[in-house]
Amino acid sequence: MSADGTLSSWVSAVGVAKARTGDNLGTKYPIISQQLWTAVQKAESGAASSASALQAAQSAATAGISK
């Protein structure tokens, strides 16, 4: 296999990649992920401003992981 210089940025990215739960989030990951996804959807659809959607997501995630 020959080296392809156009792929060097991808090789670097893969070398430092982490799993989605690589920051020791464990069972907290789904709670945080769901709230973040909901915030993005609200912001994109215009149902909420980006700032208020993210603030609500932060509050909900914090409440969810502290149970």
Question: Which of 14-18, 27-31, 43-47 has the highest mean predicted lDDT (pLDDT)?
Answer: 43-47
Confidence at 1, pLDDT banded by 50, 70, 90: very low
4 — alpha (psi -120 to 50), left (phi > 0) or beta? Answer: beta
What crossing angle do the helices spanning 29-45 and 50-65 adopt, rounded to 10°?
160
| 39 and 61 Cβ atoms separated by less than 8 Å | no
Mean pLDDT of the chain: 88
34-41 mean pLDDT: 96
Which tokens belong to 16? Answer: 């430092």
Confidence at 2, pLDDT banded by 50, 70, 90: low
